[in-house]
Amino acid sequence: MTKSMQIKNNQLYLGKFPLSDLVRKYQTPLMVFDWAHIRERMNEFTEYTKSSLFSTRLVYASKAFLAPYFCVLMKEAGWWIDATSGGDLYIIEQSGFPLSRVVFHGNNKSTEELKVAVTKGVGIIVVDHIEELRKIVQLATQYRSEVNTMLRINPGIEAHTHYYIQTSLLSSKFGLSIEDAQGLEEIMQIYLHNPMVRLLGFHAHIGSQIIDVKPFVACARQMLEFSHHTEKLYHYPLRHLNLGGGFGIRYTDEEIDYGRLLSLLLNEINANLLSLSYQLDALYFEPGRAIVGEAGTTLYTVDYVKSIWGGKKYLFIDGGMTDNIRTALYQAKYRVANVNTAVSEKMIIADVVGKCCESGDIIAQDVEIPFPDQGDVLAVFSTGAYCYPMAMNYNGALRPAVIVVDGDQIEEVCRRETYQDLEKLFTKK
Ligand SMILES: Cc1ncc(COP(=O)(O)O)c(C=O)c1O
């Protein structure tokens, strides 16, 4: 459950609102964010990543969930935001968030996207490879713009998580391998000869849903040594370091103490800086999932309970892989609750499945919950990250509405898609 959720009268509430009331007003599928939960998590990151040796820059990884409303929160909190495409840059800019506080990622940024970044003064472009750097130099020269960059390094650290969300194995498509001294030499020569494009330092991101501090510590150590070594080798100041995101959340039974994890990591970074006599000006973290993941809950209506021959049971819901593909993609696991009946003696063990023509259209398997009546609402917890941004229109599905509950206030931050939205892109004959 999220920070403001509670059970009252055997029903699930978010603050003072029964979730069933929210559903009556906004329908299902519905994504609900608990703003207090997001604020608490942001405060924890702010509090536990401070150091007396450098300033910390917290960058919200907007790929987890991007909406203008969230950009405003980040702006007010003094955070940065990361972007991965021209589309992200556009949404972020339109929200009034300063592009000077944006970190621009991507392994294949188009010339048009780079031109926008260079000419509109995006804070930092994270360079993936040498050809991209050449293009940035060309654009910086053409538009007489100074550009700040970081170089993405693949430190080859294996974080213990699902293979598809590991990004840092040495065979990864992202960045320059930490072992590639020749590649680094060629890249550094470009920086040394083109002062319009500055290399602030290196970036690494070792995976996602990491709940153990060890891979973070290993990455930090390796990146600090590498940065320090490169600075000395090329007599080029490398005073910024970006250690990416990847902080895990509670989906089912994970236990994460962010204060403890971040304090351990920061102690390790401080100790390494002192032992290397390396002066860092700014350290960046890019949490996405950890900020919004647990705060988001998806609500679905149970249209039917189906028992098949052999006894297996299905709960048919009015959404599925079209608003949450994580189970189909990564075999993600979720906790599920019956919003209308929190506790009951009459239980069911069933798979929660969507309405697509795909056997893999599953949200959660073998969940045990109070037996739902037709029309009851299910809450699927920890769906705030990487669900809505991957939503799609397969089988003519409509993207759900998204609301934020902040104390007594409810804000609809994304409206529900309509059939007219679906039609808009097509040419009529
Ligand atoms: C470069 C980079 N930074 C940050 C993140 C955010 O990761 P998470 O949401 O796991 O914190 C990602 C996720 O893929 C990423 O690729």
CATH code (residue 128): 3.20.20.10
Same domain assignment for residues 108 and 228: yes
Residue nearest to ligand 1 atom 12, measured at CA: 245
Q: Helix or strand or coil: residue 107?
A: coil
Same domain assignment for residues 265 and 356: no
Please give the number of the atom of ligand 1 that sits closest to the Cα of 105: 1
Same domain assignment for residues 282 and 156: yes
How many domains is the chain partitioned into structurally?
2
pLDDT of residue 123: 98
Residue 331 is part of a domain; what is its CATH number?
Answer: 2.40.37.10
What is the rounded CA–CA span in Å between residue 292 and residue 339?
A: 21
Same domain assignment for residues 20 and 77: no
How far from 126 is each of 89, 144, 191, CA to CA, in Å? Answer: 14, 19, 14
Pocket probe for ligand 1: among 70, 208, 330, the residue whose CB has the most ligand atoms within 8 Å is 208
Q: Domain span at residue 185? A: 49-292
Nearest to 332 by CA among 343, 321, 342: 321
Q: What amino acid occupies position 44?
A: E
Considering the domain boundaries, does residue 372 fall inside one? Answer: yes
Considering the domain boundaries, does residue 40 fall inside one? Answer: no
What is the rounded CA–CA span in Å between residue 100 and residue 119?
A: 11
Same domain assignment for residues 282 and 299: no
pLDDT of residue 170: 66
CA dihedral 56, 58, 59, 65 (to 10 degrees): 170
The alpha carbon of 225 and the centre of ligand 1 are apart by a number of angstroms equal to: 22
pLDDT of residue 402: 98
Structure-token match 């007594």, residue found: 408
Select from 250, 274, 292 the last residue of a domain.
292
Same domain assignment for residues 288 and 299: no
Same domain assignment for residues 371 and 243: no
Q: What amino acid occupies position 344?
A: S
Please give the number of the atom of ligand 1 that sits closest to the Cα of 210: 10
Select from 255, 271, 292 the last residue of a domain.
292
What is the rounded CA–CA span in Å between residue 190 and residue 184?
A: 10
The alpha carbon of 288 and the centre of ligand 1 are apart by a number of angstroms equal to: 6
Residue 192: Cβ within 10 Å count: 12
Considering the domain boundaries, does residue 212 fall inside one? Answer: yes
Considering the domain boundaries, does residue 160 fall inside one? Answer: yes
Pocket probe for ligand 1: among 57, 164, 286, the residue whose CB has the most ligand atoms within 8 Å is 286
Same domain assignment for residues 86 and 109: yes
CA dihedral 418, 420, 421, 422 (to 10 degrees): 100
Residue 343 burial by Cβ neighbours in a 10 Å radius (0-12, 13-18, 19+): exposed
What is the rounded CA–CA span in Å between residue 51 and residue 243?
A: 15
What is the rounded CA–CA span in Å between residue 337 and residue 48?
A: 32
Same domain assignment for residues 81 and 208: yes
pLDDT of residue 159: 76
Q: Is 245 in the pocket of ligand 1 (CB under 6 A)?
A: yes
Q: Is 290 in the pocket of ligand 1 (CB under 6 A)?
A: yes
Considering the domain boundaries, does residue 44 fall inside one? Answer: no
pLDDT of residue 116: 98
Same domain assignment for residues 301 and 288: no
pLDDT of residue 161: 63
The alpha carbon of 287 and the centre of ligand 1 are apart by a number of angstroms equal to: 6
Considering the domain boundaries, does residue 327 fall inside one? Answer: yes
Considering the domain boundaries, does residue 43 fall inside one? Answer: no
Low-confidence residues of the chain: pLDDT under 50: 164
Considering the domain boundaries, does residue 259 fall inside one? Answer: yes
Same domain assignment for residues 388 and 283: no
Contact between 395 and 23 under an 8 Å Cβ cutoff? The reply is no
Structure-token match 């309970």, residue found: 305
Same domain assignment for residues 300 and 332: yes
Select from 248, 275, 292 the last residue of a domain.
292
Q: Annotated catalytic sites, by residue? A: 357
Please give the number of the atom of ligand 1 that sits closest to the Cα of 289: 9
